[in-house]
Amino acid sequence: MSDDAVVLHAADDVATLLRALPAGSKASTRTPTGTIVLTLCADIPRCHKVAVRALAAGAPVRKYGAVIGALTAAVDPGDHVHVHNLSSLRGRDWHDG
Amino acid sequence: MSDGFLGYVRPDGRVGTRNHLLVLSVTGLTGPSARRVAATLRGAVFAGTPYHGGMIGTDRDLHRRTLAGLAGHPNCGAVLVLGADPPVVEEVAAAARAAGTPVEAVALDDCGHDALTLVDVAIRRGAGLLKALSRQRRVAVPLSGLVLGLECGRSDPSSGLVANPVIGMVSDAVVAAGGVSILGETVEWTGAEDRLAARATDPALGGAIVAAVLRREALAVAAGVDLTGTNPGATNIAGGLSTIEEKSLGAVAKSGTASVAGLLATAERPARPGLHVMDAPAYAPESLTSFAAAGATLMLFATGVGNSFGAALAPTLKITANPDTAARLPTQIDVSLAAVFTGEETLHDGAARLLAAVRDTASGATTFAEIFGDGEDAFSRLGESL
């Protein structure tokens, strides 16, 4: 059986989908410590991210074991995490300047 | 050959994965002649700069460093240095000599300024060099003999998700064995520089890594290049990349998890084993030339949608995790990681396969870029000529 999604590092907050799946799908997700199942809260395109745990607005989001941005809204496991609710911490400098 | 490869051990102790006759033109004035010579001699690889005269300062220093690095490259069984001015030719030939590489040097000035005479003399000398280097033999060497160059081009979401992390695992394996691995393309560290700096073996090095990224970013800003508009751009966003940190971390994933042992200038040869990051352009021809000048003997090149370019002096393994690309380009992709992307294979399985391909290729198995001759060195410039 093949995986639907992958979590790259044990500390990551998001899983990345290996294939597009509709809302309600049970995504078989490979993590460094084993396989988990994530229920998708929306239609998720291939290579997009979903949260693996509940996180508050303003929380840092980790992928590759490092912070890739901060949430602008709270998320539940299986929620789509992308430009609509994830803000760069690095890119802000340029916008301000 | 337990877990190493079969390589050519050179007089200076470095190991080659190939045994080329390098025909190296040190000035654009002898470029066409050098190509003629290389085309006549089977087993010859051409490299040459279109520049020389009027170069000054750090621009000129980089040029000399690049030429010296190529002339002394471990993948060369011999070198034929061609140029116009004898002192310039001699300086580059000295770099080959310092590596213990058999070398012949021919200058236009010594041929009565006759390019046809230069070609004639060079062909005859090159033939002798080829006859001699053909007697060299591969021997079993440990994995620590490898110097990897890490590259990506025409990336897509599969690159940061699968291809680059798998390359990172192989890089870690080579570094753990005592070898060298080099990550370049500074502009692609933007947003991940703190992460790279945190892996540096000392804080001063970490600070230098951050400074290198900020300097290149300032170059872009000063030239009116809008990095925010393209990082991530509309295609990246549609493909799933949300922030520049995520995009750059995906690129930097090629470097694995090893500590960063040094920051190299463009085309600078590392002084110690380990993972190094090189402050260099992202454009593949310049990036690969910089790695080669630093002594990289095998390149790992990840692509998303496809990219046929490889290094001329070092075998370049073209790698993709995109199933469509692997299916569409069977005579370009050397290693497909599509099975990892579709979830049929784990990242670790993919890394084991890629490491096996690395050892195989280092030992003489060919690559598509070599089969098609799809690569040529590009010498980076830093300024104007007088």
With CB atoms and an 8 Å threshold, state whether A16 touches B240: yes
Q: Does residue A12 belong to the interface with chain B, where contact is any CB pair within 8 Å?
A: no
Q: What is each CA distance from B20 to B17, B122, B127, in whole angstroms? A: 10, 16, 12
Per this entry, what is the length of chain A? 97
The CA distance from B83 to B30, in Å, is 6
Average confidence (pLDDT) per 10 residues, chain A, 97 residues: 88 95 96 94 96 97 95 97 93 45
Give A-chain residues touching B240 at CB under 8 angstroms. Answer: 16, 45-49, 82
Q: What is each CA distance from B161 to B49, B238, B313, in whole angstroms? A: 37, 15, 29
- Among B69-78, B154-163, B189-198, B280-289, the range scoring the smallest mean pLDDT is B154-163
Tokens representing B191?
Answer: 């947003």
Cα-based torsion angle of the residue sequence B297, B144, B162, A88 in order, rounded to the nearest 10 degrees: -90
Number of other CB atoms surrounding residue B349 within 10 Å: 14
Using CB atoms, pick whichever of B228, B245, B246 lies closest to residue A94.
B228
Hunting for tokens 């892996």 — which residue is that?
A: B199
Q: In this predicted structure, what is the pLDDT of residue A93?
A: 47
Backbone angles phi, psi at B224, to 5 degrees: 80, 15
Give A-chain residues touching B246 at CB under 8 angstroms. Answer: 63-64, 68-69
Mutation choice for A interface testing from B161, B227, B325, B342 by most A CBs within 10 A: B161
Mean pLDDT confidence for B58-63: 96
Smallest CA–CA distance, residue B301 to chain A, in Å, is 20
Q: What is each CA distance from B335 to A18, B27, B251, B301, B330, in whole angstroms? A: 19, 36, 18, 10, 10
B5 touches B297 (CB < 8 A): no
| Model confidence, pTM | 0.93
Residue B227, pLDDT above cutoff 80: no
Give residue-wise pLDDT tens across range B163-191.
999 999 999 999 999 999 999 999 999 98
With CB atoms and an 8 Å threshold, state whether B343 touches A82: no
User: Which residue is closest to B250 within chain A, CA to CA?
Assistant: A64
3-state secondary structure at position B345:
coil
Mean pLDDT confidence for B20-45: 98
The residue among B232 and A66 whose pLDDT is bigger is A66
Whole-number average pLDDT of chain B? 95
Closest CA to B44 of B138, B131, B125, B126: B126
Smallest CA–CA distance, residue B237 to chain A, in Å, is 8
The CA distance from A43 to A25, in Å, is 9
User: Which residue is closest to B254 within chain A, CA to CA?
Assistant: A64
Closest CA to B295 of B112, B175, B94, B149: B149
Q: Does residue A95 belong to the interface with chain B, where contact is any CB pair within 8 Å?
A: yes
The complex's ipTM works out to 0.94
In chain B, pLDDT over 70 holds for what percent of residues? 98
- Beta-bridged to residue B22, according to DSSP, are B45, B79
Q: In this predicted structure, what is the pLDDT of residue A94?
A: 44
With CB atoms and an 8 Å threshold, state whether A67 touches B228: no
User: Which residue is closest to A87 within chain B, CA to CA?
Assistant: B243
Give residue-wise pLDDT tens across range B326-352.
999 999 999 999 999 988 898 999 999
Q: Does residue A94 belong to the interface with chain B, where contact is any CB pair within 8 Å?
A: yes
Residue B229, pLDDT above cutoff 60: no
The CA distance from B229 to B373, in Å, is 36
Residue B18, pLDDT above cutoff 70: yes
The CA distance from A50 to A80, in Å, is 5
Mutation choice for A interface testing from B246, B322, B324, B337 by most A CBs within 10 A: B246
Smallest CA–CA distance, residue A86 to chain B, in Å, is 7
The CA distance from B362 to A65, in Å, is 31
Q: In this predicted structure, what is the pLDDT of residue B235?
A: 82
State the DSSP string of B199-252: TBSSHHHHHHHHHHHHHHHHHHHHTT--HHHHTT-HHHHHTT--SHHHHHHHHH
Name the interface residues of B facing A (CB cutoff 8 Å).
157-158, 161, 165, 190-192, 195, 227-228, 231, 237-240, 242-246, 249-250, 253, 341-344, 346-347
Using CB atoms, pick whichever of B161, B190, B347 lies closest to residue A47.
B161
Using CB atoms, pick whichever of B243, B342, B344 lies closest to residue A91.
B243
Give residue-wise pLDDT tens across range B87-100.
999 999 999 999 99
With CB atoms and an 8 Å threshold, state whether B245 touches A90: yes
Hunting for tokens 């690569």 — which residue is that?
A: B375
Q: Does residue A79 belong to the interface with chain B, where contact is any CB pair within 8 Å?
A: no
Q: In this predicted structure, what is the pLDDT of residue A96?
A: 36
Hunting for tokens 């979590």 — which residue is that?
A: A7
The CA distance from B272 to B268, in Å, is 12
Q: What is each CA distance from A60 to A2, A72, B115, B248, in whole angstroms? A: 30, 10, 64, 17
Smallest CA–CA distance, residue A15 to chain B, in Å, is 10
Closest CA to B91 of B108, B67, B60, B122: B67
Tokens representing B55?
Answer: 């170069």
Q: In this predicted structure, what is the pLDDT of residue B2?
A: 65
Give B-chain residues touching A3 at CB under 8 angstroms. Answer: 343
With CB atoms and an 8 Å threshold, state whether A83 touches B192: no
Mean pLDDT confidence for B237-261: 94
User: Which residue is closest to A84 within chain B, CA to CA?
Assistant: B242
Rg (CA), chain A: 13
Under DSSP, the state recorded for B270 is P
Give residue-wise pLDDT tens across range B290-334.
999 999 999 999 999 899 999 999 999 999 999 999 999 999 999
The CA distance from A47 to A17, in Å, is 5
Q: Does residue A80 belong to the interface with chain B, where contact is any CB pair within 8 Å?
A: no
Mean pLDDT confidence for B201-227: 92
The CA distance from B25 to B48, in Å, is 4
Give A-chain residues touching B192 at CB under 8 angstroms. Answer: 66
Q: In this predicted structure, what is the pLDDT of residue B157?
A: 84
pLDDT band at B234 (very low <50, low <70, confident <90, very high): confident
Smallest CA–CA distance, residue B19 to chain A, in Å, is 38
